[in-house]
């Protein structure tokens, strides 16, 4: 059985959002010949310029027949595409007609504009998650996930996560063994050792200049301190209750979760560099003991600290 997978592109799309999944499906065809028929489509067809200037050839998306799955790419041009009634109408109709529909990165904006994410769980690039949640309050945004599946609708996080999404779609179609073969061919993890969390989110819980940016900088440099809500609220010169509410609304996580993530981030870097043992990292970064650090790693990354430690030397 051959499944027809089509990728929707538009001026300003992110080329890796298309190229990454395309490479995965191509590798699946090498494992299972004839498994997929792959095609790029666009409103007008022809050469479509990506955000980086590279142009890819696409077929006009009118009069489609036989498609199985639509994958909507992301990119800076998604907002203009979401204002195009023809494009939004096509995506909406595809959601009703096709077996499966998916998005990579900010392609989720097109799915949401087309009404396909109403009441569903979804994810997008972590940098856009707060904006996405404000624009589409009817969508249950899961900002931590690399990809989500809610019924027939799949969404994925930023750029390279499109490969994770494609591997999951391949596993859904052809089984885990084929998906693992594809991952080996692409020299990528089939399931990332960091679990399904968008770990990059921890690098900047709030952009420079944000209300709590200075506080988060303080946390990063004082990870051995207690850093409970009362202490953080005092540093922010707010009552604990108001601080907790405002922090969660603006940063997207609770104060305790933010502190835990920053501790995990610092401990992970130390373990992967071989600079600290698990016991040393637990003490240095405020976990009190290795077991508490293990639980934090499992919540955040899905793996224990020992799996990320590089032997020194």
Which residues are known to be catalytic? 105
Q: What are the two backbone dihedrals, phi and then psi, of residue 145, each rounded to the nearest 5 degrees? A: -80, 145
Q: What are the two backbone dihedrals, phi and then psi, of residue 239, each rounded to the nearest 5 degrees? A: -70, 150
For residue 25, give both structure tokens: 């499906």
Bridge partners of residue 153, in order along the sequence: 101, 150
Question: Which of 103, 292, 66, 305 shows the shortest CA–CA distance to 193?
Answer: 305
CB 52 within 8 A of CB 15: yes
CB 29 within 8 A of CB 36: yes
What burial letters (b/e) apply to 161-197, b meaning 16+ CB within 10 Å? bbbbbbbbbbbebbeeebbbbbbeebebebbbebbbb
Alpha helices in the chain (DSSP H): 15-31, 78-82, 85-97, 108-113, 129-135, 161-174, 176-186, 213-221, 229-236, 240-251, 255-273, 278-284, 290-300
Bridge partners of residue 145, in order along the sequence: 197
What DSSP letter does each residue of 6-68 carry, written as one string? EEE--TTB-HHHHHHHHHHHHHHHHHSTTSEEEEEEESS-EEEEBTTS-EEEEEE-TT--S--
For the CA atoms of 268, 274, 280, 282, what is the dihedral angle to 10 degrees? 10
Distance CA 47, CA 142 (A): 34
């Amino acid at each position: 059985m051959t499944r027809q997978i089509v990728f929707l592109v538009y001026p300003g799309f992110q080329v890796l959002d298309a190229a990454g999944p395309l490479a995965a499906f191509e590798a699946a065809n090498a494992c299972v010949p004839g498994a997929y028929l792959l095609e790029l489509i666009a409103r007008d067809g022809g050469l479509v310029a990506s955000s980086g200037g590279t142009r890819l050839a696409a077929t006009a998306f009118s009069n489609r027949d036989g498609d199985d799955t639509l994958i909507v790419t992301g990119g800076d041009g998604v907002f203009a595409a979401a204002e195009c009634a023809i494009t939004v109408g096509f995506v909406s109709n595809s959601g009703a007609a096709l077996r499966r529909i998916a998005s990579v990165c900010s392609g989720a904006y097109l799915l949401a504009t087309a009404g396909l994410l109403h009441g569903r769980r979804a994810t997008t690039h972590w940098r856009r998650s707060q904006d996405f949640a404000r624009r589409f309050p009817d969508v249950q945004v899961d900002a931590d996930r690399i990809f989500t599946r809610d019924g027939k609708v799949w969404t994925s996080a930023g750029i390279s996560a499109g490969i994770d999404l494609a591997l999951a779609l391949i596993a859904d179609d052809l089984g885990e063994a084929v998906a693992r073969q594809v991952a080996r061919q692409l020299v990528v993890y089939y399931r990332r050792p960091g679990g399904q969390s968008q770990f990059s989110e921890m690098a900047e819980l709030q952009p420079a200049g944000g209300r709590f940016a200075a506080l988060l900088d303080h946390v990063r440099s004082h990870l051995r301190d207690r850093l409970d809500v009362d202490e953080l609220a005092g540093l922010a010169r707010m009552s604990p209750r108001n601080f907790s509410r405002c922090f969660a609304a603006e940063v997207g996580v609770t104060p305790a979760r933010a502190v835990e993530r920053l501790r995990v981030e610092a401990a992970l870097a130390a373990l992967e560099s071989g600079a600290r043992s698990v016991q040393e990292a637990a003490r240095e970064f405020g976990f009190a003991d290795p077991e508490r650090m293990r639980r934090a790693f499992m919540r955040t990354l899905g793996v224990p600290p020992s799996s990320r430690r590089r032997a020194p030397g």
